[in-house]
Every structure is written in C-alpha cells, then in structure tokens.
C-alpha cells in the first residue's frame, strides 16, 4: 500500500465516532466549573475532577442527603479563602451526607480562626435537624488553620445524635485537628474515626482563635469520640501552651482568655490501636499523649505512645489497657 493511501485511511478512521472518542481528553483532566448551588440541594450528587475549586464567599451549607465525590483526597479540593468566624464552619453538613475521595480546606491567614467541616448549633436543614445529623466521610481530607473537623451542638441528647463516621480519612489543623465541642447532653455528638491520619502542626498552620494556643489532635468537650486504628501526630512549637495527642477538657483556653458559661456535658473518649507521637518542638507547657481533665476516664487500648518502648505518656483520668 502506498504511503499516501495509508495516511488517508488513518485520517478517515480518526474522524469516525470511535476515532473522536479516542482523541478526546480524559474528562477528569479538564474539570468543568462545578455548580456550587447544587451542593445545597437536597439529595444532589456532585462529582469533582482533579483541581482546586473556589466557591463564592461565605458558608456552604450542604443539603440533606448530599453526595460529594472527587478524584482523590489529594487531587480534588474545595477551598474557602475568606471565611473566618468562631462557631461557624466553612462547610456545614446536613443530615445523611456522604463525601468520598475529596478535600475540604479553609485557606486563611496564619493566626486567623476558622473551622472547616462539621455542624454548629442547629444549622442543619429541614426536619432532620431535630433528630440528629449523620455524615459519612470516606477517604476525605479536612484541612484548616485552627480547627479541622469541628462540631458544636446545643441540641442535647436525641434518639439520633449528631454523628460523623470517618474511614481512611485525614484531619489536619494547626491547633485542633478534631474537636467535639461543648453541647448540652452526653450524646449530643458522636465521632467514630476508623484508620484515620490525624495531624496537628502548630508552627505551620496555627495559631489563632478563642481556644488558647494549644496543639492537639483530638479534643473532646462533649459527646462521644472513638478512634479506632490510624495515627495521631502532634508537632507543637515554642509558642504553644501545650502539646497533646488526645484531651478531654472543659475549655481549652488559658488565662486571660475568659471561660464562657457553656453547658458542657461530660465527654467520653476512647482510643483503640492508635499510634500516637507527640513532638514538643520547643513547647514548654504540658507535653503528653493523653490528658484526661474532665469526664470519665479516657480509655486507651493497646496502640503506642511517645514514651520509651511505645509507652503512653498520660496525665489525669486515663486508663491504659495493653
């Protein structure tokens, strides 16, 4: 066959429907601008390709039953650059939400308080807000300055408490990577975290806000927090007041910050098969893997701490079961 005939055949093949599909770019490599309003519609499904996506200013309150899927928690990222206020997050989940292979980030200045993902007060949508909310996070990264996963509930105990179930996720912040804030009942909120990487990096991401200059992976002021497997990594700094992996506390701020008269319940905190390492990095305050200041004993089952031979470094009401 002559060369020019072969070229004509190849050209014709490429312009068939099959050829056009073959030439088309991978749709995930050129993400279309997302419909941010869709995130607020009950029952909506939004799929993000790789890239960073910047919503309009303000809070995004997800609709009930919303599904968000990305191309990977290190590939698809929804970034808020403007929102910073106490007790209100950048992205507020409603009832029965599912997030997979995705990243939420609040990207504000160092020292500016923000909460990234969770719920606050009764901000959830619809009748479901009266019976508790549920969020399921799979392979999701929550990245913030002051707080990462942050929840503060004032609804008290309900038949269906506010609940987050996270599997193979990553929570990163400068001061509190995971904070179960104060509420009016011991069952106001539940966190169940499975095989998650939890990181607090004070010098890189903190510090600011109304919760003192602390560096902590998991803090429980109210409700029930259970961590199964995974890791906690704390890197404090010379300006940090304390460095701690897991902590039950009434109000983390130290004088002269005022402690408000909030209706704190006793928190319940459990760590099972967790690998915890705390790096003081110049912090001159308390440095521990676990501090139990309020509520019942913190239960630590197996796992490893920062002490010699993996011993847990604890203070206060903590029970370690090997």
Average pLDDT, the chain: 77
Of 34 and 138, which is predicted with more confidence?
138
CB-CB contact of 175 with 209 (8 Å):
yes
Most confident range, picked from 1-5, 104-108, 264-268, 294-298: 294-298
pLDDT, tens digit (0-9, with 9 covering 90-100), for 44-80: 999 999 999 888 777 777 778 889 999 999 999 988 8
CATH dotted code for 31-321: 2.160.20
The domain locations on the chain are: 31-321
The tokens of 227 are what?
């961590």
pLDDT, tens digit (0-9, with 9 covering 90-100), for 86-105: 444 556 666 788 999 999 88
| C-alpha distance from residue 134 to each of 44, 99, 164, 171 (Å) | 16, 11, 6, 18
Cα separation, 154 vs 162, whole angstroms: 10
Q: Which helix (H) or strand (E) holds 314?
A: strand 314-316
Full-model pTM = 0.82
Cα separation, 125 vs 315, whole angstroms: 40
Of 123 and 261, which is predicted with more confidence?
261
- Over pLDDT 90: what percentage of the chain? 39
For residue 10, report the phi and psi dihedrals to the nearest 5 degrees: -65, -45
| C-alpha distance from residue 79 to each of 90, 116, 141 (Å) | 9, 10, 12
Q: Fill in the DSSP letter of residue 212.
A: -
Banded pLDDT at 112 (limits 50, 70, 90): low
Q: What is the mean pLDDT of residues 26-43?
A: 69
């Amino acid at each position: 066959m002559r060369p020019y005939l072969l070229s004509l055949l190849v050209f014709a093949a490429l312009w068939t429907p099959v050829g056009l599909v073959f030439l088309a770019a991978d749709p995930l490599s050129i993400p279309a601008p997302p419909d941010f309003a869709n995130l607020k519609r009950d029952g909506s499904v939004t799929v993000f390709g790789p890239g960073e996506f910047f919503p309009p200013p303000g809070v995004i309150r997800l609709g009930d039953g919303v599904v968000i899927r990305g191309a990977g928690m290190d590939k698809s990222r929804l970034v808020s650059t403007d929102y910073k206020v106490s007790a209100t997050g950048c992205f507020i989940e409603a009832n029965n939400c599912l997030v997979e292979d995705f990243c939420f980030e609040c990207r504000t200045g160092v020292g500016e308080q923000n909460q990234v993902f969770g719920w606050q007060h009764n901000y959830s949508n619809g009748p479901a807000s009266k019976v508790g909310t549920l969020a399921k996070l799979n392979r999701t990264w929550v990245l913030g300055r002051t707080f990462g996963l942050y929840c503060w509930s004032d609804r008290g105990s309900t038949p269906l408490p506010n609940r987050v179930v996270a599997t193979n996720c990553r929570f990163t912040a400068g001061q509190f990577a995971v904070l179960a804030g104060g509420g009016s009942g011991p069952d106001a909120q539940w966190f169940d975290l499975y095989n998650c990487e939890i990181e607090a990096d004070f010098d890189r991401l903190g510090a600011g806000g109304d919760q003192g200059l602390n560096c902590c992976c998991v803090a429980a002021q109210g409700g029930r927090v259970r961590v199964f497997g995974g890791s906690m990594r704390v890197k404090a700094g010379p300006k940090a007041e304390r460095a701690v992996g897991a902590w039950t506390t009434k109000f983390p701020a130290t004088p002269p910050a005022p402690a408000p008269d909030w209706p704190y319940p006793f928190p319940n905190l459990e760590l099972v098969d967790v690998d915890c390492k705390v790096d003081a990095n110049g912090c001159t305050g308390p440095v521990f893997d676990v501090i139990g200041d309020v509520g019942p004993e913190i239960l630590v089952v197996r796992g490893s701490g920062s002490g010699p031979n993996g011993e847990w470094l604890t203070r206060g009401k903590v029970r370690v079961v090997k």
